[in-house]
Each structure stands twice: as structure tokens, then as C-alpha cells.
Amino acid sequence: MPDTQLEHAQTLIKLGQPEQDEWALSRIDDKLPERRPVIVPLALWQASDADPQLAPWLPSDTVIDDELAATLAKAPLVAIDFPAFTDGRGYSLARLLRERYGYQGEVRAIGDVLVDQLFYMSRCGFDALALREDQHLDDALRALGAFSVSYQPGVDSQEALFERRLREANGG
């Protein structure tokens, strides 16, 4: 497959810092590209015999069950596609991977990833964010630190704000 059919993240933020992306992304679902490392559709990755230079991307309508989660645990990273910024199912997929199934590897947001979403994505368990090409790195880094306090629990903090305040008021 010619390299022109592979996508490369223009801007990747990993663990809150800009990073050069070494992974290419293939959306072709019937042939493995020669280039490595590469993120490929889930079915293609599942048929690849656990090649460590391949990683799966999940469409937003993926149903994660115990069997799939056990298979994904072997992946070097799991990318979750946002086909449109209005499709929030990827947030739930990331939380399921992190909280229910204990996935420890990289969880990457790909697709229609906008600056406005980054803080919430990080709270749901994404630790790598491949921005849509028209998004600016400086804006993205500011957006990650836009809020100093969160009311709800998330992957990054298991306590709700009222629980933290109650614990602190009781000397804990």
C-alpha cells in the first residue's frame, strides 16, 4: 500500500505533552499496509497474529465485552475513532477500557478530535490525542488545563468534588 493512503497525526499530544507520532493510521480494512508501526481497523488487527507493530482502532459503535477486552489487553495501544465531534460514544469506550477492564496501555483519540473536547477526553481515560489537522497545538495545550476542579469523578479522580470537600472537612 502506498504511504499516501496512510494518515499521520499532524499534532499528537501524549500525557499532556506534544509528541512526534511514530504510528501511521490506516483506514483500509482489507489489506495490511507494509509500513510499521501502524494502527489498523480492529478486524484486520485481530487477524494479524499479535504483531507488536500493529495496533487496532475501534469504531465508535464497538461493543466491548470480556472477550474483546482480553484481546485488546495485548495491544500496544488502542485508538478510538470519533467520526464526528458530536459522536460521544468514544468517551464511554475509553472509560470502559480503563475502569471496567483495567487497560493499562495507551488509549488514543483519533478522527474528529477538537480542542474543545480534550479536557473531557483526558478525564475519560484518553492519554493520547491526535488532533484534527485544523486544530492548533497551543490552543490544545491550554484546553487541557482549562479547569482546575472537576465536579464529577473520572478516570483521573475517583472522588466527586463534594466527597473530596467532605473528606477534607473531616480531617482526611
Can you give the residue ranges of every domain in the chain?
3-147
Q: What is the pLDDT of residue 89?
A: 95
Q: What is the pLDDT of residue 151?
A: 58
d(CA 33, CA 46) in angstroms, rounded, equals 15
Q: What is the pLDDT of residue 147?
A: 75
- The pLDDT profile of the chain, 172 residues, written as one tens digit per residue, is 445 577 766 789 999 999 999 999 999 988 888 889 999 999 999 998 778 999 999 999 999 999 999 999 999 999 999 999 899 999 999 999 999 999 999 999 999 999 999 999 998 999 999 999 999 999 999 988 887 766 566 677 777 666 777 788 888 7
End-to-end CA distance of the chain: 58
Cβ-proximal residues to 167 (8 Å cutoff; 6+ apart), any chain:
159
Q: What is the pLDDT of residue 161?
A: 61
HSE (side-chain half, CA atoms, 13 Å) at 122: 21
Q: What is the pLDDT of residue 1?
A: 41
Helices H / strands E in the chain, number of each: 6, 9
Q: Are 128 and 16 in contact (CB under 8 A)?
A: no
Q: Report the predicted TM-score, pTM, of the whole model to 2 decimal places.
A: 0.86
